A and B are shown apart, each in its own frame.
Chain A
Amino acid sequence: MANLLKNRETQLAAVIVLMLVLIAFVNPDFIAPSNLLSVYTESSILIILALAQMLVVLTRCIDLSVAANVALTGMVVAMINSQYPELTLPLVIAAGVVLGTLLGMINGLMVWKLGIPAIVVTLGTMSIYRGIVFLISNGEWVNSHEMSLAFINTPRTEIFGVQGFAIISLLIIAAIYIFTEKRPLGREMYAAGNSPTAAFYTGIDVGRTQFWAFTISGMLSGLCGYLWISRYAVAYVDVALGFELQVVAACVIGGVSIMGGIGTVLGCVLGALFLGVINNALPVIGISPFWQMAISGSVIVIAVIANSRAERKVGRIILRKATLARG
C-alpha cells in the first residue's frame, strides 16, 4: 500500500513536470529557475492552507471556513497594525495566530462536543467569520500606506534569494511532516479517519482528534491571514473569497481522500503546486479567461476521478483481507 501511494506522488510529480515542459514550448521563460521560484513563492499560502486542510480531511471532516478565517485574521492584524504602528511585528502576527487558533477551536468544539457534521459547522462559521470582517471594518479597506513598512516587507525579505513567504511555507511543510509521521496526535488523525470504530477501540478519542485538527487548521489560517495581507498589501472584506475551494481542490489533487485516513504531506504539497503552476501559467500562455475557468475546472474533475479510482483499489484490498481474516 505504501508503494501504491508513493506511486501516486511520483505520478503527480511527473504530470507537473510534463505540464512545465508543455508550457515551456509556448513560453520558455516560464521554466527559468527564478520564475519557478516565484511560482513557488506565489503558491506558499495555498501550500500552508492545503496542509492545514489535509489534517482536517484526514479525520473525515472538512474546514470550509479557512478562507473566511484568513480574511478575518488578516483584517484584524491589518487594523491593529494601522492603529498601533509602534507594536512590534511578532506581537501583531501572534495576535493573528491566536485569533485564528480560537476561530479553529470554535469549529472543533462544535464538531467534538455537539457532534454537528463538520461541513455544516464550517459552512456556518464561514459566513459568520466573513460577516464579522464587515462588522469590524465597516466595509472600509486598510490600504498599503496605512500599514507599516515592516508589516509589508518582512515576508518579502530574501535569504539566499528565497523570499520569506517561501521559507515560512518550507518550515510549515517540515513541521507538518514531523507531526503526521512522528507525533502520536498526528498518527491518531490517520487512525481516526481511517476507521473511527477501530480507533475508538484502541483508545483514541476521535472527537478530540478532530478538535485538534480544526485547531491547527485555524492556527495556520491565522498565520496565512497575515501573510495574505502583507503579500497583496490591502485588507478588505472579500479577501480570499472562494479560496477554500482551491484549498480543498489542492488536497484532492494531492491524493488526500475526502473519506478520511489517506493522504501524505508530499502529495498535498504537490497538489498545491499543481494548482499553483496552473494559476501562474494560464495568464502567461495567454489563454482566454473563459477557457481558463474551464481548464481549471476540468483538471480538478480529472484529479477527483483519478483519486476515486485509486481509492477503490485500496478499498478492495482491505475488504479482501478482511474477508480472509474473517474466513
Chain B
Amino acid sequence: MALKKLLATAIVTATMTTAGIANAADTRVGLVVKALGIGFFEAAAEGAQEAAKELGDVEVIYTGPTTTTAEGQIEVINSLIAQKVDAIAVSANDQDALVPILKKAQQRGIKVMSWDSGVAPDGRQVHLNPSSNALIGEMNIKLASDAVKATGSDSGEIAILSATPTATNQNIWIEEMKKVLPNYAGLTLVDTVYGDDLADKSYREAVALMKNHPNLKAIVAPTTVGILAAAQAVQDEGKIGQVYVTGLGLPSELAGHVDSGAIKSFAIWNPIDLGYSATMISYNLVKGNASDSEVGMGRMGTAKLDADGSAAMAEPFIYDASNVHKFAEIF
C-alpha cells in the first residue's frame, strides 16, 4: 500500500514535470482513471501515449486519485480545470457524482468524454464502451469456432458455461451468441449450463458437460470463474487437445491454463487500445472533427455514436500463447 502511494506520488510528480515543459500550442488531454497504480489503467495510459506520439501535437496528462473514490476524482478534475486542459477523458468511479464538476469543465470550454466506466450523458459529450453486447456475443462464437478447428475438425459440438441463470449481462451475451450461431455452419450448441460463478459448481458442470457430450469440442465460458474452473476440469479429466475452453477472462488469471493447453485463446478488451481510442476521440473533439453520429479513433477506425453519445470501441481483443504473458503482467 505504501509502495503504491509512493508510486502514485511519483507518477503525479512526473506528469506535473512534463506539464511544465509542454509546448503551449499542444492539445492537452487529461486522462483521468479510477485510481493510479492499477495495471489495467497503466496499460490504458500506455495506449494514450501511443496516440499522443502518433498525433504529434498532443500532450497526455495521466492522472487519477490514489483510491477509487468519486471525491478523489473530483479533486483531480478540479486541478485539471485549473491547468486549463483542452479535454478530459475519464473512467468514472461514480456515474452521477462527477456530473456537476464535468459540467463546470464543459462551461470552461473543455471537451469531456468518458471511457470504460461511463458518466451520465449530462456530464460528457461522448462515452466510449470497450465493446458492445453484439460484438462480445460474436467474438465468443468466433473463439468457439477457432477452438473446434484447433481440435482438428471443421465441425463439432460446443457448450456454454455461464454464471447464474439470472445474470443479466450473461443472458444478453448468450442471446447474442445464439443470434450469430447460424453463420457458423459447423458449430452445434448442445447445452447451456450454469456454474453460479462458484468454482466448485462450475467445475462439476464442466465435468458433466464432458461426460454427457463425449464429442464436445469446446466449452465457452463468458465469465472469469467459469472459464477458470472449466479449464481446470478439462486438465483433470485428461481432455487437453480434445476439448478446448474459451470465453472471456483476464490474462493474469488465465496465463497458466493457456500454458497447460486447456485454453487455446480467449478474449477481453485491450486496455492499450482503449486508452489510445479515448485520446484520439478527445483530440478530435477538441479539433472539431466530430459529428453527432461518429468520431474517428485513429487506427481503431470510427466510433459510431448512438443518441446518447455512447459508442463501442471494437470487438474484444484475442489473447493466446503469443501475447498472454505480456498482458498477464498488466491486468
Contacts and interface: CB of A to CB of B under 8 A. Distances in A.
A in complex with B: yes
Interface of A: 27, 29-30, 35, 38, 42, 141, 143-146, 156, 231-234, 236, 238-243, 279-280, 283-284, 286, 289-290
Nearest to B202: A232
B199 A143 contact: no
A238 B163 CA distance: 14
A175 to B, nearest CB: 24
A141 B253 contact: yes
B326 to A, nearest CB: 14
Contacts of B199: 232, 234, 239
B210 to A, nearest CB: 10
Nearest to B199: A232
A232 B203 contact: yes
Contacts, number: 72
Given A29-B211, A289-B193, A289-B194, A233 B255 contact: no
B204 A232 contact: no
Contacts of B191: 286
A139 B197 CA distance: 16
A145 B198 contact: no
7 contacts: A231-B203, A234-B232, A240-B200, A280-B207, A280-B208, A289-B165, A290-B165
User: Which of B191, B197, B252 is the most central at the interface, judged by chain A CB atoms within 10 Å of its CB?
Assistant: B252
* 5 A-B pairs closest in CB distance: A145-B256, A283-B208, A144-B256, A232-B199, A289-B194
Given A241-B198, A289-B165, A143 B253 contact: yes
A274 B134 CA distance: 42
Interface of B: 165, 191, 193-194, 197-201, 203-205, 207-209, 211-212, 225, 228-229, 232, 236, 252-257, 259-260, 328
B204 A283 contact: yes
B51 to A, nearest CB: 29
Given A27-B212, A232-B203, A286-B212, A144 B232 contact: yes
Nearest to A142: B253
A30 to B, nearest CB: 8
B255 A283 contact: no
A27 B212 CA distance: 8
Contact of B252 (A30, A143, A233, A289): A143
Contact of B236 (A29, A156, A234): A156
A232 B229 contact: yes
Contacts of B253: 141, 143, 234
B228 A234 contact: yes
A280 B204 contact: yes
Given A233-B232, A241-B198, A289-B194, A143 B204 contact: no
Nearest to B206: A283
A231 B229 CA distance: 10
Nearest to B205: A283
Given A141-B253, A144-B257, A239-B199, A232 B232 contact: yes
A35 B229 CA distance: 19
B206 to A, nearest CB: 9
B330 to A, nearest CB: 13
B116 to A, nearest CB: 18
B122 to A, nearest CB: 31
